[in-house]
């Protein structure tokens, strides 16, 4: 059963209805130095053993000046790989669910290294840092209210405080997706929208990219979350949210990135005045 979103805040209720070894270059191979030995003479006066020794020394010198077979293979692989990305040799869908797919890719990386990678492919997400400046003067301008949500995240086994966010539908415009998610989860619309940043939260295995938008000039309305969402939301001062971050109470990556970036923007605006 989906609980309705709450709008209680610390000091200000919402107007919405409930709802990131130094490699030492290898020394160049040196030509092997061979010592000249006096050839052994057979009973017939020939020097077959001396010729054999000379021939062996020549082979040793040749090996010392030639690159190893491993280095040669790496050089060949580097030529085969793309200079800007990996060369895909094979890709299989190992798992497909309603939110993402897992691809098992066999590739040649730009370095020439052959690798097998499991990658989660995702349509991407939007994050909204919704700001209410109140009367737009004094403390409301310097220390505005920020919309945050509390919901249970099974992957972490706990409730987390987060900025409003959601996944994009296939081919959906990120801005329209952000406007849709904010309205669904909190009931808010906004007069002004701007892009803060686009980033990859975990590029080692996750192909998902996140668009963080700044929403200003909030307009309250009725929230209508999806059936599987149980969200409580409230407005907190930017200073209070930053204090929660310093104390380690905010564990969600997108909320850390968005809030701290917005703080830097606020500081630059203040310095210009």
Catalytic residues: 227
Whole-number Cα distances in Å, 164 to 69, 73, 124, 144, 192: 55, 50, 15, 17, 16
């Amino acid at each position: 059963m989906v609980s309705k979103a709450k709008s209680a805040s610390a000091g200000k209720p919402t107007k919405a209805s409930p709802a990131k070894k130094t490699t030492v270059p290898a020394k160049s191979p040196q030509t092997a130095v061979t010592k000249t030995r006096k050839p052994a003479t057979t009973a017939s006066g020939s020097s077959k053993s001396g010729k054999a020794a000379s021939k062996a020394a020549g082979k040793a010198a040749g090996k010392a000046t030639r690159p190893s077979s491993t280095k040669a293979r790496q050089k060949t692989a580097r030529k085969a790989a793309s200079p800007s990305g990996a060369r895909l040799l094979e890709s299989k869908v190992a798992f497909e669910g309603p939110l993402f797919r897992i691809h098992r890719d066999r590739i040649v990386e730009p370095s020439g290294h052959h690798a097998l990678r499991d990658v989660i492919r995702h349509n991407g997400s939007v994050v909204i840092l919704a700001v209410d400046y109140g009367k737009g003067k004094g403390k409301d301008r310097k220390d505005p209210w920020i919309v945050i949500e509390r919901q249970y995240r099974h992957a972490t086994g706990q409730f987390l405080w987060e900025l409003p966010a959601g996944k994009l539908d296939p081919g959906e415009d990120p801005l329209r997706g952000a406007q849709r998610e904010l309205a669904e989860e909190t009931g808010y619309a906004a007069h002004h929208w701007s892009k803060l940043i686009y980033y990859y939260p975990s590029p080692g295995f996750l192909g998902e990219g996140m668009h963080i938008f700044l929403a200003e000039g909030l307009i309250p309305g009725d929230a209508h979350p999806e059936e599987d969402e149980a969200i409580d939301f409230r407005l907190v001062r930017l200073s209070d949210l930053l204090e929660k971050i310093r104390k380690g109470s905010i564990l969600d990556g997108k909320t850390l990135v968005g809030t701290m970036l917005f703080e830097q923007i606020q500081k630059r605006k203040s310095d210009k005045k």
